[in-house]
A and B are shown apart, each in its own frame.
Chain A
Amino acid sequence: MTERAIATEQCCIAIVGGGSAGLALAAEARRLGAKNVVVLEREQSAGGVPRHCGHYPFGLREYGRLMKGPDYARRNVAAACAVGVDLRTGATVSRLLPGGGLEVVQDGYAYTVRAERVVLCTGVREASRAQRMISGDRPSGIVTTGALQGMVYLAGQAPFRRPIILGSELVSYSAIQTCAHLGIRPVAMVEEEPNTLAPGQLQLYLRLRGVPLHTGVSDLAIRGKGRVEAVSFTDMTGQRLAIETDGVIISGRFLPESALLRASHLEVDPLSGGPVTDQHGRCSDPAFFAAGNLLRPAETSGFCWREGRRAAAHVVADLARPRDMDRHTVAIRAEDPAIGFVSPQRVVIGRESSASGPLHVGLALPLNGVLQATSAGRVLWSGAGKARPVRRVHLPLDKILAARPEADIVVSRVEVR
Chain B
Amino acid sequence: MSDHGRSPGGAPFDVAIIGAGVVGCAIARRLTLDGARVVVLEKARDVLDGASKGNSAILHTGFDAPPGSLEQACVASGYAEYLNIAPALNLPILKSGAMVLAWTTEQLAALPGLIGKAHRNGVPDVAPLERDEILRREPNLSRDVLGGFEVPGEYLIDPWTTAHAYILQALANGASLRRGAEVLGGHRGKEIWTLNTSTGDVHAHYVINCAGLYGDVVDRRLLGRSTFKIRPRKGQFVVFDKPASALASAILLPVPSKTTKGIVVCRTIFGNLLVGPTAEDQDDREDASTDRATLEALRGQGIKMLPGLADCEITATYAGLRPACEFPEYQVMQEDGYVTVGAIRSTGLSAALGIARHVAEMIGPLGTPLTEPVIPLVDRLSEHHPRDWQCDGHDGIVCHCELVTRREIERVLTGPMPPASLQGLKRRTRVTMGRCQGFYCLPELARITTGRLEVPMDVPTGMSEGKDHD
A residues with CB within 8 A of B: 1-2, 42-44, 52, 90, 92, 105, 107-110, 125-126, 128-131, 133-138, 140-141, 143-144, 146-147, 150-151, 154-155, 157-161, 183, 221, 225-227, 246-247, 255, 257, 259, 262-263, 268, 270, 273
> Interface with A: B34-42, B206-214, B409-417, B458-466, which one?
B458-466
Q: How far is the CA of A227 from the CA of B456 in the complex (A)?
A: 11
- In the complex, residue of chain A having the shortest beta-carbon distance to the beta carbon of B290: A135
Determine, out of B135-143, B339-347, B439-447, the stretch whose residues face the partner at the interface: B439-447
Q: How large is the interface on B (under 10, 10 to 19, 20 to 34, 35 or more residues)?
A: 35 or more
CB B321 to nearest CB in A, in angstroms, measures: 12
- B390's partner among A42, A105, A131, A221 (CB-CB below 8 A) is A105
Chain A residue nearest in CB terms to B438? A147
CB of B317 within 8 A of CB of A130, answer yes
B311 x A270 contact (CB < 8 A): yes
Complex contact B466–A226 (CB within 8 A)? yes
Inter-subunit contact A140/B421 (CB<8 Å): yes
Q: Is the interface of B mostly helix, strand, loop or mixed?
A: loop
Q: Are B389 and A262 in contact (CB under 8 A)?
A: no
Please state if B316 and A130 are interface contacts (CB–CB under 8 Å): yes
Are A159 and B459 touching (Cβ within 8 A)?
Answer: yes
Minimal Cβ-Cβ distance residue in B for A150: B443
> When each residue 62-84 of chain B gets 1 if its CB lies under 8 Å from chain A and 0 otherwise, what string results?
00000000000000000000000
**B314–A131 CB distance below 8 A:** yes
* Complex A-B: 25 CB contacts under 8 Å: A1-B391, A90-B396, A92-B400, A105-B389, A107-B392, A109-B392, A128-B435, A128-B438, A130-B239, A133-B314, A135-B289, A135-B291, A138-B289, A140-B455, A141-B459, A143-B438, A154-B443, A157-B457, A158-B458, A159-B459, A161-B462, A183-B461, A226-B470, A227-B466, A262-B243
Task: Enumerate chain A residues within 8 angstroms of B389, measured Cβ to Cβ.
Answer: 92, 105, 108
Least CB separation from A44: chain B residue? B396
Q: Is the interface of A mostly helix, strand, loop or mixed?
A: loop
Check B397 against A128 for contact (C-beta < 8 Å). no
Tell whether B103 is near chain A: CB-to-CB under 8 Å. no
B437 within 8 A of A: yes
Q: Give the docked Cα–Cα distance between A378 and B295 (Å).
A: 44
**Which chain A positions have C-beta within 8 A of B450?**
155, 157
Q: A151-B457, A158-B458, A161-B461 given as contacts; is B437 within 8 A of A128 (CB)?
A: yes
Is there contact, CB below 8 Å, between A155 and B292?
no
Query: Which residues on the B side are within 8 Å of A90 (C-beta)?
Result: 396-397
A104 to chain B, nearest CB (A): 12
In the assembled complex, the Cα of A224 lies from the Cα of B314 at a distance in Å of: 23
A-B contact count (CB 8 A): 156
Q: Which residues of the other chain, A, contact B290 by a CB distance below 8 angstroms?
A: 133, 135-136, 138
B436 at the interface (CB under 8 A from A): yes
Given A43-B440, A137-B287, A226-B470: 9 more A-B contacts, CB < 8 Å? A42-B397, A137-B289, A144-B437, A144-B438, A157-B446, A159-B457, A159-B458, A226-B455, A226-B469
- Given A157-B450, A227-B465, check contact A147 B439 (CB 8 Å): yes
Q: Which 7 A-B pairs have the closest CB atoms?
A: A150-B443, A226-B469, A128-B437, A157-B458, A147-B442, A108-B392, A270-B311
Of all chain A residues, the one with the shortest Cβ separation from B315 is: A130
Is B423 engaged at the interface, CB distance under 8 Å to the other chain? yes
B contact residues around A125 at 8 Å (CB): 436, 439-440
When each residue 234-275 of chain B gets 1 if its CB lies under 8 Å from chain A and 0 otherwise, what string results?
A: 000001011100000000000000000000000000000000
Across the interface, which residues of B come within 8 angstroms of A159, CB to CB? 446, 457-459
Contact B444 A155, beta carbon cutoff 8 Å: yes
User: Across the two chains, which residue of chain B brings its CB closest to A2?
Assistant: B392
Question: Which residues does chain B contribute within 8 Å of A154, judged by CB atoms?
Answer: 443-444, 447
Q: What B residues does A52 contact at CB under 8 A? A: 443
Check B100 for interface membership: any CB of A closer than 8 A: no
Query: Within 8 Å of chain A (Cβ to Cβ): is B133?
Result: no
- The A-contacting residues of B in range 415-454, CB under 8 angstroms, are 421-423, 435-440, 442-444, 446-447, 450
Contacts of B287 in A (CB 8 A): 137
Q: Does B357 contact A (CB under 8 A)?
A: no
In the complex, chain B residues 117-162 whose Cβ is within 8 Å of any chain A Cβ: none
A109 to B391, CA, bound (A): 7
B57 at the interface (CB under 8 A from A): no
Give, as a whole number of angstroms, the nearest-CB distance from A371 to chain B. 26
Least Cβ–Cβ distance between B148 and chain A, in angstroms: 29
> In chain A, what residue has the closest Cβ to B469?
A226
Is the pair A263, B289 in contact by a Cβ cutoff of 8 Å? no
CB distance from B247 to the nearest CB of A (A): 12
A255 to chain B, nearest CB (A): 7
Query: Do A137 and B390 touch across chains, with their CB atoms under 8 A apart?
Result: no
Partner of B394, one of A44, A108, A255: A108
Interchain CA distance A31-B334 in the complex, whole Å: 80
Q: Tell me, yes or no, whether B403 is within 8 Å of chain A by CB.
A: yes
Q: Complex formed: what's the CA distance from A93 to B465 in Å? A: 42
Residue contact A137 to B288, C-beta cutoff 8 Å: yes
Asked if A138 and B288 sit within 8 Å, CB to CB, the answer is yes
**Which residues of the partner chain A approach B295 to less than 8 Å between Cβ atoms?**
133
Q: Are B314 and A221 in contact, CB atoms less than 8 angstroms apart? A: no
- Which residues of the partner chain B approach A130 to less than 8 Å between Cβ atoms? 239, 314-317, 437
Interface status of B281 (Cβ within 8 A of chain A):
no
Complex Cα spacing A183 to B462, Å: 11
Tell me the complex Cα distance, A128–B421, Å.
20
Q: Judging by beta carbons under 8 Å apart, are A108 and B459 in contact? A: no
Alpha-carbon gap, A43 to B463, bound state (A) = 32
Contact of A144 among B289, B393, B403, B439 (CB under 8 A): B439
